[in-house]
Structure 1
């Protein structure tokens, strides 16, 4: 067993776990002051729920053990891995303990679910959110993770690679879709679900451009910083080894978001006259999203170009909610869905060796588009059905008067900012 790579994977897992509290600060700063507890609790709720479900059966769905490549469509369940009973021992000759990989992938499940919550800020019941999160993870995230990643543990301790989005498409087109760290499984997946929930819950009271402003930009910057820090584990850690590919992913995780930050600020300056701190944070996150699938398959220069494209396009895409009339509160669609699509499709042209400019073939672009569309449609449809069922039964949205007053005290009995110890 390679202790160096084992340590690398475990440290990467810890970094990715930190992303969810970072997301809580990022989202928490963007909402109004009387909703900050509610917003942050949806991220922390995802940490608790997904951590348990992943151990009980999530891993068994996402990474069923196999001795050969499989296509895992629509989804499979390995009963031997329920409760992780089948992965407690480290096979002889394995590069690292299977539980290290289990821990690393658990953090992906947590952050993906938490991302969805940004679309329903200021107006969602916590209990309804937790029910949605559990069902959506079970029928959407866990299977989609298998489609994309699907490292099945073989008898010799190695991981076979056979999700239908990767191996299945490769068998047909000669190349499989590239998604190194989760552009489809995480960002397109979460962004599509966010769009569905935004439609199900409807618009916030008084929804219009400029009506809802971030209450705490320093929180937003802190959250973005923690997300960027954790993202090095997200991207470089996906190599599962401390090697040259991980180093390339690490460098590109610096380059792309840096370029996206600048591009977003330039668009803001041209469009609105002033570059903002929230824009800088949002631009960095957009670049991180776009480079997630591409971090190990681009040269650093092409990563910078990707960041510039993602920062500029996402800065414009967040306006879609006002034009199309859906209330994606914290721009999950404009940043994660659009950014994920940009990064995924960009690989069809610029991916090392197989992209159009290197190979002269459109095959990589075709498989990237198939992967993106399949995940988008699957996640959107099921999220819409699950969200609508919850709304029509127990109710997903709080009362309008509670939304106007601020839902922290109504839902959680707490206030984000207590300015006096004296209660009236």
Structure 2
């Protein structure tokens, strides 16, 4: 099996490196952040991903997994090198690939023989060829001519279920020009081939486009069902039954048909914007994707209107907020609906009592401008205590089993804005609650 290196220990890089080691590869993960590397060497995980920590410890102990800041050693000792650095959005929505190209330059600086350089960072079409050009340039400056191949191998990991997604992927996409590089990638993903995971072999540009096209489509499903939910509310229809019936159609499928306050996270918003800019650069427009982005933003603001309509004047109201991460089982709040909803509630005069199982540290940074209006709480019942209403923003499992019988003793107002449809109206009404769901 080829020896591997992973450049970048963010979410994708860490999960990729750790799980490849768990499947028997020798893997060295590299990062410029010395403090992070020191913590990883001691088994301390900088992200929240269920089940990852024991896998890290297991592979550190058996010697298959290594962490270092020394990219030279990692490159020289490895044949297959993954680039997994960030590609944050620029102000115009385009993906910034400067960190990808910097990683390529660093790899080229220390190449000592044939290497397969695998771009796993989500990058616009054309990035793989830019990597190739960058490496050629650095090798020319060094006066050497080592052979190498560049591969585009997009990731499809979901935060909170990354281990399952990596071990049992829907497909593997390999974009390459040289059959030898494809064979090396098959050796890397041998465990998937044993499980007969479908593999798409394509050119570099096709592999890069698959990632963007997939994420934009899933984001459109979320946005579509939210728009249908808004119509359902006005027409006395139940969006959950509508979505269930839709999902039984095999041409549609049940995934991403849960109505709520809008999508967020590190992928959908960024990738949809980057896809629009890629289309513009080649003289095309993606009007459907553009409308989707606008609708998703409006959905978040619509949730504020729902709360204001249900409570009336928000000035001086205490509102319990359950969940600020964009989804459960992660500490990530990037592009979370909470980033739009909470500041707007504060602007309207509300005081917030916030509880999230994992999101507080990131939340304190993100909401630093409104911290005077936020009381951070240690559990559900501290948050709802003395509140006028409860808002469920994230569908963490513990929010599915709230003990509503405790509300009176906590002097909590019996008004529930269930923005994830975790509960049904009738049982809540029987408990004396004024209930507001989404699309029903």
What is the TM-score normalised by the length of structure 2? Answer: 0.24
Bigger Rg over Cα: 2
**More strand per residue: 1 or 2?**
2
More helix by share: 1
Which gives a bigger RCO, structure 1 or 2 (Cα 8 Å, sep 6+)? 1
